[in-house]
Every structure is written in structure tokens, then in C-alpha cells.
Structure 1
């Protein structure tokens, strides 16, 4: 550690005698002894002295706020530790449970009481009012899946987890459960917003199969934009999920045509579903129909850019060593040691949902690898995350779209990392860019039809 001891503002960060091992650019370890001590380790090549000074200063401020006024809100703490240049109005509101002014409505029947208990256990927060939104309370797609697994056990009813999008409160969900004949036939097509005058956009699921993560995108696309999501066929059934790409694409088109019988169709794909989307484009074109926007979100075809030889690998290690970049040791460690142990650990201690998800992802990876990609006379809209632009290997793989989309590739770059593009606040920029692409395509379609009508 370049600086053995740092003191200031009531905070002392000292060297860690027993050795602090970490691969992260900055690591803060805390010793919970009688006198709390913080131990800092950072990579001087990755972080400047100014950044470290900022971190220490704000850490000191954070401790001061907590010690001096224990009743201070989380928002005040967030404002203190937010880096310069970040708009503080974008900081999410405090958890509803931390406000003393919110109106609490207690469970009024047995069903609501059972659901509140389940929610409080899974969300690790209490009390929960029966009129509070599941997602506003921090609910995620993984928690939603576990939630409905528990509902099936407790209520003896099997419901689709996606129904939570339309029944987000304990009150609404309990009424939904109480109604008869709710074990309806499964449909892959999920209306996130069915109303609106614009042509709809159809968003395909990622590897997990569920489509919860599209809810914020639908919100930011605006009230006049119909948005439908396609969850994987047999999302909770490994046998049904293991259909080939061609059959899955055909089924999804059947579902889409129930809403929009004729094209041009606007499609959006992310991660695993890009192969399904590309197959849908093929089937649409061969049926004599057309596409409008084919949006591929930060995802590239799973094609081998270049089979790396041992010489390639050795040259890569030598070049990195010359540049004093030893991160390849981390890559080797992760691939050869950490990942196999992690897989084994998951198989031993994970809950049933996590184990099933791992099995599905493994099966889907094999299915996707078997798909034969072929060039099509189509144009794609490629929206990339800024960090991926710095990855040479990613750039090579993304360039393969140029070979597949014979009518060209329109590329746009948005902030945020690959895994959080659909999360707040990053999803707002993604939605704005997508909205502009949809509007441009719609205007072009109208102009072409006008020209045809007048010729």
C-alpha cells in the first residue's frame, strides 16, 4: 500500500499487519474491535491520490454524521458521499419504511396476513403496508420467483410470477389469489403497456426467462408507446425451455401476431435472446413481411472471432506484463479456481430456484451454441454500454454484426454497465435513445408509404 498510515478528520486508516489481500482497485476492511479500525488497500495504478483523498475525506464525513446525529436520514448521508458532478436529484428516494409520515395499513384478512409475512421475510423489511408496491420496496425478479414459489406452497395455487406486474401490492395480490380460475393457460406474451397510438415494440427475455427487468423501460418509453414482453416458453419448466431456437422463434411470432397481425415489427433483444430475435427476423422476412426496428442491447453474436492458439495466449501475457498489467492472473484464477468452486458451492447450498436457474442457463447455452447464424438483408440498431467500448475483445465480437446485418448497423452508446442498463437511473437514457430510434423508423415508414401512394 503506497501510504502506510493516513490520519485526518477523526479517521485513521492504517496498514493491515496480517496482510490485506484483494483484487479490487480499492478495498476497505473494518476491524470490529473495542476501537473500530479501518484498513485501506488500493491500486495506485488505477486510482489517483486525489481520488483516495476524496474517499478518505467523505468517509470521515460519513462517520461524523452518524456519530453526531444518529437520527440523520439516509438521503443526507447519500448527499455527503455523492461524488462531485453527480446530480443529487437522481439519488433514489429513501425506503418507504424509513419515513415516519407514511400511512400504514395493516392486514385485514388471513390472506393479506400470510402475504405480508412472506413479503417481510423475503424483502427483509417490516412493517409492510398492504398498499405498498413490491418493486418500490426493493423487490427483484429473483425475489419475485421465490415469492410465487412460497405462494404456491402456502395457498396451494400455482400462479405466474409475471402477474406481479399487474398486482404489485399485498392488497391487489390477495384479491387476485382469491379469485377463481386464475390458473390460466400460460402465455409468453406479457403486456407491459397495451394502450397507446404508436406501433408496439416486443421485448424478448434474457437468459433467466423472466421479463420483470423491462418494467422501468416501459415506463420511460412513455404512455403512448405500447410495450409487450416475451417471457420464455415454460419459464419454470426446464423441459419446455429446452426447445430449439427455430421453434421458439416461431411460437413467439404466433404470440406477437395476436396483437399485431402484420408488420413492420419492432423487436428488442438482450443477451441470450438475440439468437431468437435474429431467427424471428428470418421467419418474418420469409413470410413476406418486414421489420421496423431490430434493437440489440449491448449484446453480440456468440461467434468465435478467432480461435486463440497457445502462441496468442503467451503473446497476450507478455504484452500485458510489459505494460505492467497483471490482471490476467485474476482472469486465470477466476476461470481455473474460483468459478469451478462457485459452481460446486451453488449445487451444495443454493435453494431450489437458484439450482433450477443454473440448469436452465446451461441448457440454453447449448441450444444457443447450436444455432446457425446467417446474414440477412436487415438493419439493426445496436445500443452499447460505454464500458464495453474499452474492451478490445468485445469490439471484435460486436463487429460481427456488420457481417450479419447486410443493410447496416446503427450504433449508439449509453452510460451504465451491461448489467444495469435496465435499472434506474441508467434505464432513462436507454429509453430515450430507443424512443428516438422508434420515432425515426416510424417517420421513415410513413414517408415511404406517402411516396408510394403518390407515385
Structure 2
């Protein structure tokens, strides 16, 4: 309303201010979050290339460092030959040796030729298996009322993982505690991005140019940390047992029973190990979903002590609060609902999310043997809990197939389904009803296409990823033809774990995963009077017969929407893709007809 035309221009000083431009359209404003508007295309006489850590060119969709070339390049840094040689490089591209500025900006190229800024390379750090941008944490802290100055820094910890510390200088007459800062950050960022320490300083150390001297930010110590959450020692027998398990699993020396599992370095794989160890030492078998609402030793101990009074339910709360229509997400073949823990932190605070975990995950109830039975059971629990008559269901991969069957059954029962989300889910339908010859012929043709796709994929992926690609494919062959003792389970259930991690999975969970895959093998998809939304991962890592609709168009009689989301089949819910996925999903949910 304040101008007739708006442009987004980008460029560092080293390339004479502006290097690319993007005219902002109504579509950019209404269909994308502001931070995802692209920086456009290079100006005339400028060239952009995206490269990996070894300066190999990357294809569209893969994030990497932006190299800028062309007439706008500076000669270098005056009087600083070392920095000039580091930042201004020569690279042979398409047979021509050219000069480039290594910007340090991480970007991606989309399929329309537009570049998207992601983050600064020098602010990236890998913590607990997640690569994160420290500037995102700083931006969140800047929104806290009363904060005058702020900085975030990572520190290596001897024998342990890297940890994050946030430094804050408060304005006059304002006061905050460490817990208040962490609570505020948790409203905007996932748990693994919450700093381990909040340090309040009277003033920041400065460089001669009056910028914050990050190198001289002091390492957190008890003397520096004020307003910290008081550590509660283990008191009960159960708390002491779980505290010891906790430290062994996380490889940390935690003393308080009120510290958060995920903030302390936990993830879904370690959660599986934690639950298994708790069963070994206490005899109590807990579902992984317990960790959605019970993330401290104190709370888990209370659950263990009350275990006899617990009633098993497939329906669990991922995020209870909010007045919007709930979203019900179904587990995948790997059973792990903790995959969706990131959505709890990143989606609208008014959006309730519930998960459906597999029957039999408690090790006591019998696993359901068909997709139809699973769908019927999950529907019965939803109807018992939610009497609204209008439902939204979703699932990733195998969970998407169950969600589709649930939508079909809901509709046949006379209920309204206003959202069916298929998260990179392929319409896999059993061919066991075909004659034996046709079944073998179809399988043989599919295998040949998969091999050809893998060969093409090998030449398209970045040089730095080729070794990992080959190792993954060789492991796949080993799973199918290797020694039974090591590979029998992973051959049937490709959960992407190492041999050591597979051994740590309890037998009842292995049995349940096998049952799920047998159910999938026997399921025949039939058309339904529903509309579906396919969230399709941008990067394809395996062959799909129908790359456009993943096979769903002929089954969803009311139509299909296709939305491309960042990452591949295994990284859509991992940072930095999780934030964009959550934004896209929330916008789609907000457009539902109630």
C-alpha cells in the first residue's frame, strides 16, 4: 500500500553492492512466508554458482555456498593479501578460468532460476546431529522485551558434544531469568536450538570497530550464570536409576532431575535406547510417545512409578493446546512419532496435533495385521476423543497410506474429512492378486528401472555426496544378500540404522515393524471419494513409477493437490527443512473448510 512496485535486491559490498534482483509479486506475499522470498536472478554482467565445500557445482535444490562472478567484483581487500586470497578465488567452470567472490552465504537455486538465501556459512554449527544457524537464535532473542544487546556462541565440550551459550545485556530497569529467556525461545524454535546456558553481562566485549568481539565472549561458568533454573537432585529410587541411565545414554554428567531430555542432547534414536534401558532396569515398558509430554527425569520417574495404572492408547497428544481444528498424524513403518516433535515447536501455537501410535507398541497388545484394521482402530479412538464430526488426518510414507484408508472409512461412515496429508507417501498397492507370471514380470521391470534410476542419480548428485551414495547402495545389497545374523531384520524393515543400533531395538518392536510391512505388502488400494494433498520431497532418492502424483491421482476421486517441500524422503522433518515444511503445512491447514 506504500509503493506501487517493490524489489528485493541482494549483494555484498565486495561485489559492488547489488548483484541480483527480484520483483516482489502478489504471489510472493500471499503464498510464501517473507523469509522465503527469493533474492532473484543475477543482474547483467554478474554470474552466480552454488558450490559444495570442495567448490564442486551443485544442482538445483541442494544448498551450498554462493560464488559471485562478473564485472562487479572488487580487486580485493586493501592491505590484506591473506583475506583477499581466501575470499577471491579462481575457479574453472565450463572450461573457463574465472574469478569469483566466495560470499559465505548459503543459498539454493530453484527450478525457475531464482536463488534463495538460507543462512550464513560462518554461523552454522552442528549440534546433536542437527546443523543449525546461530543467527536464527540471535534473531529470536532480539524480540524479547528489555534486551539491549545479544550474541550467541558455540563451545566444544571435552569428550562431549558442542553446546550453545547466549549472552545478553539488558536495558536499564529490565530483568530476566535464564528460564524466562529459554521459555521465550522455545515458542519460536525447536528444543535442539535452545541454548544450554544464558549468560547476562553488564556489557559486551567489543572489537576496535565497536562490534561484538565474539572470540572474547567468556565460556559459561557458575560464576557467570545468574537466574538459572535451580537443579533438583534425584531423591527417589526410580529417579536415581533413571538419572544413571540418562547420563549413560546421553554421555553427559547431568545432576538434576528437572533437565529436559531433548535440550540435553536427546534425539529419537537415543530416546529408543533410553526407553529400552528403562525397561531393562525397572521392568517397566514405556511407549516412545511418553516423551512428548514427559521430557525430564522427574516426570518420567512419576510415569514409571504409576505404570500399573496406565491404560494403553494409540492416540497420544503431541501438542494439546490450541483452538484450531486438530491434526491427527499416523505413525510410519518405523513407528516413531517423535519424528513429528519438531512440528510441535514450529507450527502455529494455536494448532493442536495428535499422533496415532501402533497397537502393540506396549509389547502387550497384539499388533494389528492389516491396514484396514489399523485404520478402523485409529478411527475408533479418534471418535471416542473428538465428537466434532470433521477430521484432518496425515501420515508420512506408510503412515500416509493408513491416513488415506482412514479418510476412506471416515467418509463411508458419513463423517467429513477436510484434509488428507500424504507426506512423501507413495500409493503402494499390493500386486499379490496378479497371476504369478505377471507379478514376477512387473517386479523384474521395476527392479531394472530402479537400477537405471540409481545410475542416473549417481551422476547428478554432488561430488562430495557420491561416496556416501555408493556406501548406502552397497549396504542395501548387503542387507539383501548378507549374513542372516546381521541383516535379516534390516532386510525386511529398511529403517536406515547401523547394525549396532538395530541390535538395541527391542524384539517386540522388530516384530511390530515386520507386521506393518506385511500389512503393506497385502494392502490393495481402492478409489475413495476424498481429496488428498501430496507433500512431495523435492529431492528424489529412489525410483517412483509416477513422479508427478506418486500414484494417487487415480484413487483420490475428489482430486489431488501437489506441494513440493524441501529435502528428501528422510530429511523433510530435519533442519533447516523442518521450518519451511511446518510453514507450508500450517498454511494448508488454515485453508481447510470446517
TM-score normalised by L of structure 2: 0.55
Quickly say closer, same or farther: Cα 1:291–1:320, change in 2 above 3 A: closer
Match of 1:79 in 2: 123
Quickly say closer, same or farther: Cα 1:420–1:183, change in 2 above 3 A: farther
| Residues 390-427 of structure 1 deviation map (CA, whole Å, 9 limit, x = unaligned) | 87736537441111112211111222332232234422
Asked if structure 1 preserves the Cα contact closer than 8 Å seen for 2:342 and 2:573, the reply is yes
Match of 1:250 in 2: 376
Asked if structure 2 preserves the Cα contact closer than 8 Å seen for 1:262 and 1:289, the reply is no
Question: Could you tell me how far apart the structure 2 residues matched to 1:78 and 1:172 are?
Answer: 38
Question: Could you tell me how far apart the structure 2 residues matched to 1:354 and 1:213 are?
Answer: 19
Equivalent residue in structure 2 for 1:422, among 561, 569, 573: 573
Higher strand share: 2
Asked if structure 2 preserves the Cα contact closer than 8 Å seen for 1:213 and 1:422, the reply is yes
- 2:536 equivalent to 1:370: no
Match of 2:477 in 1: 336
Match of 2:237 in 1: 110
Asked if structure 1 preserves the Cα contact closer than 8 Å seen for 2:544 and 2:550, the reply is no
Shift of 1:214: 1.8
Question: Could you tell me how far apart the structure 2 residues matched to 1:184 and 1:143 are?
Answer: 24
Shift of 1:149: 2.7
Question: Could you tell me how far apart the structure 1 residues matched to 2:410 and 2:364 are?
Answer: 27
Question: Could you tell me how far apart the structure 2 residues matched to 1:315 and 1:117 are?
Answer: 47
Question: Could you tell me how far apart the structure 2 residues matched to 1:183 and 1:150 are?
Answer: 21
- Root-mean-square deviation (CA, aligned residues, Å) is 4.3
Quickly say closer, same or farther: Cα 1:263–1:79, change in 2 above 3 A: same
SS at match of 2:591: helix
Shift of 1:57: 6.4
Quickly say closer, same or farther: Cα 1:196–1:79, change in 2 above 3 A: closer
The higher-RCO structure (CA 8 Å, 6+ apart) is: 1
Asked if structure 1 preserves the Cα contact closer than 8 Å seen for 2:279 and 2:285, the reply is yes
Match of 1:384 in 2: 536
Question: 5+ residue gaps in structure 2?
Answer: 1-50, 68-82, 88-119, 127-131, 138-192, 199-218, 432-441, 489-498
Task: State which drifts further: 141-150 or 294-303.
Answer: 141-150
* Mapping 1:31-430, distance limit 5 Å: 79=123, 88-90=134-136, 92-93=193-194, 95=196, 99-100=220-221, 101=225, 104-179=231-306, 182-237=308-363, 240-303=366-429, 309=445, 316=452, 333-337=474-478, 340-341=481-482, 344-345=485-486, 350-353=502-505, 356-388=508-540, 393=544, 395-396=546-547, 398-430=549-581
Higher helix share: 1
Asked if structure 2 preserves the Cα contact closer than 8 Å seen for 1:158 and 1:183, the reply is no
TM-score normalised by L of structure 1: 0.70
Asked if structure 1 preserves the Cα contact closer than 8 Å seen for 2:527 and 2:555, the reply is yes
Question: 5+ residue gaps in structure 1?
Answer: 1-24, 28-41, 59-75, 446-455
Asked if structure 2 preserves the Cα contact closer than 8 Å seen for 1:275 and 1:301, the reply is yes
Question: Could you tell me how far apart the structure 2 residues matched to 1:96 and 1:116 are?
Answer: 21
Question: Could you tell me how far apart the structure 1 residues matched to 2:447 and 2:514 are?
Answer: 30
| Residues 44-97 of structure 1 deviation map (CA, whole Å, 9 limit, x = unaligned) | 68699998xx9x969xxxxxxxxxxxxxxxxx9963779xxx954237355569
Question: Could you tell me how far apart the structure 1 residues matched to 2:354 and 2:124 are?
Answer: 40
SS at match of 1:418: coil
| Residues 169-220 of structure 1 deviation map (CA, whole Å, 9 limit, x = unaligned) | 11222233334x6442210000223332221111101112231222221232
Asked if structure 2 preserves the Cα contact closer than 8 Å seen for 1:275 and 1:371, the reply is no
Quickly say closer, same or farther: Cα 1:331–1:421, change in 2 above 3 A: closer
